[in-house]
Structure 1
């Protein structure tokens, strides 16, 4: 066997160790037990944008980042970030290693001090774009004062007692995202946080790795700054750190899917108060995989509400003396397996140990029903969100090519339609060009496969219709619809349609194909075809003039619901099925005491891990109104569990159905 000289020297300690104890020396940053779950295995990441569509490339001469040269790129990347505060721009990193010595942070903007918003940091591919903190960086040495490598919600150099810092805590950080890259915190940086992520209403971390090369650092993914959420964390792997994921505060909800954590020092996930919805979780650790509502430093937050579905928890070494999950809050767990731990769950609230290595379906508190129902949730099928290979950028078509002009106060419907009917599979609405107007009926049809904005805004009184087409899947993503606009989205397609990362997705669906809604806010959703299946995650309806979500006979699955303002939030009728897995009800504004939060009329529904919070005198007095035939029952607020945080309550498991769906 041949080894290069450098390679053999690196392996000498391992070879000696093997000889002594017949073991192996493993690089703990690599893993063969669990690979991170991907929504569509085999879809390679290679995200490249055309020129002149408003994407900001940090390697452009005006910014000057040079990957792979071993020199400090902090100033260049920060210059690109700071130039476009709150403008919806994508800051793009081509493949390569970018060395940094200080935090990268979103700009606050000049309009107000909480303007850390509407910014996306986008890599070309998760495994080949690496932002790496220099070893033993002086600013990242104090673990009692954690400092993020990347911060989306505040400037780490602000004085915590300043008015500017206090302003950064409010829930106004809309539409922030970090996508398709790896963050490495280097070695000997014990005070480092990999990513301190903040977004409100709409925003996501997608396809990201966060790695501590020597296990040092306080937190991989910190969800701790102020009023954060709702937000989505998808396809994320975290290696090392004291905590893989750490939360704080009781609002506004966190949705997570396909998450892997391993080799943490204190816990894989510490949920300190949030309403967390987590599906598809893998942990390989010698510490507890999840601590819900309990900090080892004895800080309690009893309002922590965890909805956990489909998890595999592997314990190693000292894990045999620990529970896989420790909870002092509220927990619903389904299809969870563990190995190598003393027991699978320690319920500190009830001082109860759950022995064994699996949880088929578990609730820390009793379930609730009003009419005869099973004591288990609906368990609707879970389908992964589709992904498509990205087109060659030379094949993209911009709506500008066909005459669309932002900010000219003229209707752009005809230009948009011409771009879509050109035969291109990807049509882009460029960022940085202002607001485009849709006053007519725009049909997404033909060969169109991806309709994407790179930061553009839309408004108008027209409609954008997902229509029939020759491609099996249509993805619509990254749009901002101006608040107050009457623009409607409609779906009449017989193919799979995905709406992703959209602010103001007011949608009416009569389609027959599968429908996916991902990281979106809206006033209303109408699912009108009983034959349709809908999967939604990080869903944020905030209407106050009419019922927000109407399910007229369809099958509707929601992972992570956050609501605001009044009116009925979900109305399920006509033999439909609705399952909500986790959520936060923020009862801001006036509520009609006669209107329920959820209504079920001759249909089936289950509500799991739904918490609420309010800070005025108005909130929902009726949580569930259920009708079967001539019988109607109302579950009032006083019958719902006390959350012990934010004046709130928790509906841990409500079942309102006669039998499971076929």
Structure 2
């Protein structure tokens, strides 16, 4: 995969510069009034000579947001083009030392923004005691920095690591730093590493991306290359699942990808290393992978060491000596469900869905042509009704409409015309205050997408309706492709696509999804918490790479000829309900699923994992027929029809 430069569509750089027209993924620019923090305004030079550590940390501190101001405490910290030299760890902490979440670091592009660790930097000399360049963390909500809560050891651990992002840059660990970890990454529910080139030298780099603190995921790693390092990517613990899409691991000295108990969902990964390609160490670990390619020197390189479960499709090897403990022929293609080195069965039904990439929309408008909703009277104070102002901005004729960081009230449906190609949220929040608004009685959305033209991108927004009554964020009835990126819908349905709706693409999103019609849907990294049905598929081909549910949830209900493929994920009932829902239901469709179940209460587990009520093919799959994973279950393959029996 090529880390190219396209409008990665976030923006913060002061617009004293020329218009930026990015045409490929991984390029960002922002208007000066978007509420984004520019590291150069805090003294960062970006000249590759002066140490910018203190300036960058000051910018990160300035980006923090008080509790209650916005859904996520996450303003964007932007790195304009340049080489930023650092000598210590970049992290986000409160004045009293408590770790915080909501660290969003965005560069101009991997080609133009470089974060480089000083050669032979202090504290980075010991691979046995690694030290990160970038460190994201979970928020410690109360107490002293090391007093307890979820962070007993003062490691920034926990499961409140919301909205941690690093995007659009090269991270270089320099020379003479054998203990360097490029990114020590922790994110929960909403977070991504995206459009990154991570570089380790011949004498530098312990781990490229480490996800070895409690508890990683759900999170998305997308369009990333990791070159060098002893270990390319490492994940640990049994919660909460990590999704990897379009990842290249090259030149690892020991292990390219290591999993110690988690659930990894993988699509489109290249591993080129004269080392172990994939190591699945823990019997509780599940790796679900499609389009995985191995290459190496052909003499000592082992493609896969597996001590857990793996569900594989379209796995290709070239110049690898070993595969599941035995020799492998060059150019071989593999698929199947594996437990340890044993292949149990096929993993590819005849109706397996095509994997379609997120469309490159080709939006190239410069930031000077973007329209600010505040120019029409919108106010991001969480109180003022901005409905009319937002509608006017959408009708302005501009192709990009943006919300400067803030919290906006929208009380009625606003229509998104065909002229709008992108709605940029800059990590803003949208809520509804007038709960009895007529459009919402009828099931209308806050945004109504009815256009039939070019693709529309909506990104970096949170819809906050927690304890305010159910609503719909995005009503999708038009035939144009819709891309949802970094969207959180709390207490509200994320998207309802009607039968007339076009192809839906979503990555790193949260909330409930309803999809109808025959157009396809492709979701990468879905977090959906709450009771009842989380995804309804009424007749569509729907492919999901990585899902996490909490509470008494049915992951997907498939009906009316729909086809659902759920490629990896994690379900967690948390507490014991009075009546348990099945994990998956089907009536007249087809289902393929691979996932794990976590539980810490013996009675808070699923009794039924699949309830198929298709006439003439009724079937119940009970937990007792599935392999245990602690108190939960490990489910490398669950399917309807003859293939699943």
Question: For this structure pair, what is the TM-score category when the shorter chain's length is used for normalisation?
Answer: 0.7 to 0.9
Secondary structure of the corresponding residue to residue 410 of structure 1? strand
Match for residue 338 of structure 1?
Answer: 317
Worse-superposed segment, 531-540 or 359-368: 359-368
Tell me by how many angstroms 1:385 deviates.
0.6
Pairs within 5 Å for 1:187-206: 187-206=175-194
Distance 1:642 1:597, change over 3 A: same
Tell me by how many angstroms 1:659 deviates.
8.3
TM-score (norm 2): 0.87
Distance 1:104 1:118, change over 3 A: same
Match for residue 18 of structure 2?
Answer: none
Matched, 1:99 2:73: no
Distance 1:465 1:620, change over 3 A: same
Question: Which of 63, 67, 73 matches 1:84?
Answer: 63
Match for residue 611 of structure 1?
Answer: 596
Question: Which of 110, 115, 130 matches 1:146?
Answer: 130
Question: Which of 118, 122, 138 matches 1:134?
Answer: 118
Please give the alpha-carbon distance, in whole angstroms, between the structure 1 residues aligned to 2:534 and 2:308: 29
Please give the alpha-carbon distance, in whole angstroms, between the structure 2 residues aligned to 1:385 and 1:215: 37
Matched, 1:409 2:398: no
User: Do 1:478 and 1:500's aligned partners in 2 also have CA atoms closer than 8 Å?
Assistant: yes
Question: Which of 492, 499, 507 matches 2:477?
Answer: 492
User: Do 2:88 and 2:133's aligned partners in 1 also have CA atoms closer than 8 Å?
Assistant: yes
Match for residue 12 of structure 1?
Answer: none
Worse-superposed segment, 78-87 or 574-583: 78-87
Please give the alpha-carbon distance, in whole angstroms, between the structure 1 residues aligned to 2:538 and 2:344: 24
Match for residue 535 of structure 1?
Answer: 522
User: Do 1:375 and 1:655's aligned partners in 2 also have CA atoms closer than 8 Å?
Assistant: no
User: Do 2:5 and 2:109's aligned partners in 1 also have CA atoms closer than 8 Å?
Assistant: no
Match for residue 526 of structure 1?
Answer: 514
Distance 1:606 1:37, change over 3 A: farther
The higher radius of gyration belongs to 1
User: Do 1:181 and 1:208's aligned partners in 2 also have CA atoms closer than 8 Å?
Assistant: yes
Tell me by how many angstroms 1:126 deviates.
1.2
Secondary structure of the corresponding residue to residue 276 of structure 2? coil
Match for residue 270 of structure 2?
Answer: 282
**Once the two structures are superposed, what CA deviation does each residue of 1:43-73 show, in whole Å capped at 9, x if it has no partner?**
264421111110100011xx11111151000
Please give the alpha-carbon distance, in whole angstroms, between the structure 1 residues aligned to 2:133 and 2:51: 14
**Once the two structures are superposed, what CA deviation does each residue of 1:137-161 show, in whole Å capped at 9, x if it has no partner?**
1111122221100011169xxx997
Question: Which of 230, 245, 254 matches 1:266?
Answer: 254
Matched, 1:473 2:455: yes
Please give the alpha-carbon distance, in whole angstroms, between the structure 1 residues aligned to 2:308 and 2:598: 15
Number of aligned residue pairs: 596
Please give the alpha-carbon distance, in whole angstroms, between the structure 1 residues aligned to 2:459 and 2:306: 37
Pairs within 5 Å for 1:38-117: 43=24, 45-60=26-41, 63-68=42-47, 70-85=49-64, 87-108=73-94, 113=98, 116-117=100-101
Distance 1:38 1:84, change over 3 A: closer
Tell me by how many angstroms 1:38 deviates.
9.8
Distance 1:558 1:37, change over 3 A: farther
User: Do 2:373 and 2:389's aligned partners in 1 also have CA atoms closer than 8 Å?
Assistant: yes
Please give the alpha-carbon distance, in whole angstroms, between the structure 1 residues aligned to 2:77 and 2:50: 20
Pairs within 5 Å for 1:351-370: 357-365=331-339
Residue ranges of structure 1 left out of the alignment (5+ in a row): 1-33, 294-300, 347-351
**Once the two structures are superposed, what CA deviation does each residue of 1:427-467 show, in whole Å capped at 9, x if it has no partner?**
00111x3x211110111113100001112111114532342
Residue ranges of structure 2 left out of the alignment (5+ in a row): 8-21, 66-72
Tell me by how many angstroms 1:354 deviates.
6.7
Tell me by how many angstroms 1:648 deviates.
2.4
User: Do 2:138 and 2:187's aligned partners in 1 also have CA atoms closer than 8 Å?
Assistant: no
Matched, 1:228 2:226: no
Pairs within 5 Å for 1:483-632: 483-484=465-466, 485=468, 486-488=470-472, 489-504=474-489, 506-510=494-498, 511-522=500-511, 524-529=512-517, 531-544=518-531, 546-591=532-577, 593-608=579-594, 610-616=595-601, 617-632=603-618
Match for residue 459 of structure 1?
Answer: 431
Matched, 1:418 2:392: yes
User: Do 2:6 and 2:27's aligned partners in 1 also have CA atoms closer than 8 Å?
Assistant: no
Tell me by how many angstroms 1:113 deviates.
4.2
Please give the alpha-carbon distance, in whole angstroms, between the structure 1 residues aligned to 2:568 and 2:350: 12
**Once the two structures are superposed, what CA deviation does each residue of 1:272-331 show, in whole Å capped at 9, x if it has no partner?**
1110001001011110211111xxxxxxx2211101110221112xx5234211111111
**Once the two structures are superposed, what CA deviation does each residue of 1:327-385 show, in whole Å capped at 9, x if it has no partner?**
11111111111111113333xxxxx777665343211149999xxx9973742011101
User: Do 1:343 and 1:355's aligned partners in 2 also have CA atoms closer than 8 Å?
Assistant: no
User: Do 2:376 and 2:393's aligned partners in 1 also have CA atoms closer than 8 Å?
Assistant: yes
Match for residue 391 of structure 1?
Answer: 365
Please give the alpha-carbon distance, in whole angstroms, between the structure 2 residues aligned to 1:277 and 1:39: 25
Please give the alpha-carbon distance, in whole angstroms, between the structure 1 residues aligned to 2:415 and 2:485: 18
The alignment yields a C-alpha RMSD, in angstroms, of 2.7
User: Do 2:543 and 2:565's aligned partners in 1 also have CA atoms closer than 8 Å?
Assistant: yes
Please give the alpha-carbon distance, in whole angstroms, between the structure 2 residues aligned to 1:456 and 1:471: 26
Please give the alpha-carbon distance, in whole angstroms, between the structure 2 residues aligned to 1:174 and 1:598: 27
Distance 1:288 1:408, change over 3 A: closer
User: Do 1:36 and 1:258's aligned partners in 2 also have CA atoms closer than 8 Å?
Assistant: no
Match for residue 31 of structure 1?
Answer: none
TM-score (norm 1): 0.85
Please give the alpha-carbon distance, in whole angstroms, between the structure 1 residues aligned to 2:593 and 2:481: 26
Distance 1:591 1:483, change over 3 A: same
Worse-superposed segment, 593-602 or 458-467: 458-467
Please give the alpha-carbon distance, in whole angstroms, between the structure 1 residues aligned to 2:94 and 2:258: 28
Matched, 1:120 2:104: yes
Match for residue 163 of structure 2?
Answer: 175
Secondary structure of the corresponding residue to residue 82 of structure 1? helix
Tell me by how many angstroms 1:540 deviates.
1.2
Secondary structure of the corresponding residue to residue 123 of structure 2? helix
Distance 1:384 1:503, change over 3 A: same
Secondary structure of the corresponding residue to residue 55 of structure 2? helix
